[in-house]
Amino acid sequence: MELIKCVVIDDEPLAVEVLVSFIDRVPFLSLEATCSNGLDAMAVLQRRKVDLIFTDIEMPDFSGIEMIKSLEVKPLFIFTTAYAHYAVEGFSLNAVDYLMKPIPFHRFLKAVTRAQCLLYADNSREMTTVLASESPDYIFVKSEYENLKINLCDIKYVEGLKDYIKIYTHSNKPILTLTSLLKFEEKLGKRHFIRVHRSYIISLRHIHSVQRNRIIIDNKRIPIGAIYKDEFVKIIEN
């Protein structure tokens, strides 16, 4: 597994300690440096290749937002802050996520998993930028009385239920929407998703294991239909 190289930037020692302990718990993360301000971080970023930045926003002299704006080549970044009012500006800069302090580990894990999906979607940062402009990495889905934005890398699998489908993501509650599985399959595309049964589409990213004629994602056992098996086997073998 390729490691994601991280830098933590925060002027609060306790906040740095928490993030360092979280990074240590995630196998695909590697801590490259910790910095107490944005100016020191700029020096680190000039010397080292970094994939992901965790940065506080309110810091003396040079805010996290100012630092991100000043970078010519931007790694992926996640804002960590105690102030919710910066969220709109944070996401307008294309932040991977916006974590509110005190940060629970499950939210940290969700954010870094999203970063992993974005990084591993392509072979280089330049290619990621080009592809993002050509094909969005999210979709909008109508559910009840609102249109929900769903990041494609968050979708684990989709279940068809006659006129409705259920979309399973990192959230505990699946998203229910009125459409057919066939129409939704066309919307997802085939880059990371595959139909494995008349009632299921799965994300290749989230497969835990394959057991005979079943796919395991989380604790869900998803059957592999006979007419879909050959194509599925060909994809995972390659």
pLDDT at residue 83 in the model: 75
Indicate if the pLDDT at residue 116 is higher than 80: yes
Residue 201 has pLDDT above 70, yes or no: yes
Higher pLDDT, 116 or 200: 200
Query: Tell me, what's the pLDDT at 158?
Result: 96
Quick: pLDDT tens for 63-113. 888 888 888 888 999 999 887 766 666 566 788 888 999 999 999 999 999
Average pLDDT over residues 16-26: 95
Beta strands in the chain (DSSP E): 4-9, 29-35, 52-55, 76-81, 97-100, 138-143, 146-151, 157-161, 164-168, 175-178, 193-197, 200-203, 209-211, 214-217, 220-223
What is the band of 148 on the pLDDT scale with cuts at 50, 70, 90?
confident
> Which domains occur in the chain, in start order?
4-132 (3.40.50.2300), 138-237 (2.40.50.1020)
Give the chain's length.
238
pLDDT tens for residues 173-199?
899 999 999 889 888 877 789 999 999
pLDDT, residue 12, reads: 94
Q: Are 160 and 202 in contact (CB under 8 A)?
A: no
pLDDT at 156 over 60: yes
Cβ-proximal residues to 204 (8 Å cutoff; 6+ apart), any chain = 192, 193, 194, 235, 236
Question: In this structure, which amino acid lies at residue 155?
Answer: I
| Euclidean distance between CA atoms 216 and 231, whole angstroms | 18
* Pairwise pLDDT comparison (124 vs 23), residue with the higher score: 23
The winner for highest mean pLDDT among 124-128, 151-155, 165-169, 203-207 is 165-169
Record the pTM.
0.53
Beta bridge pairs of residue 33: 7
Mean pLDDT for the chain overall: 86
Instruction: Give the whole-angstrom CA distance, residue 71 versus residue 24.
Output: 27
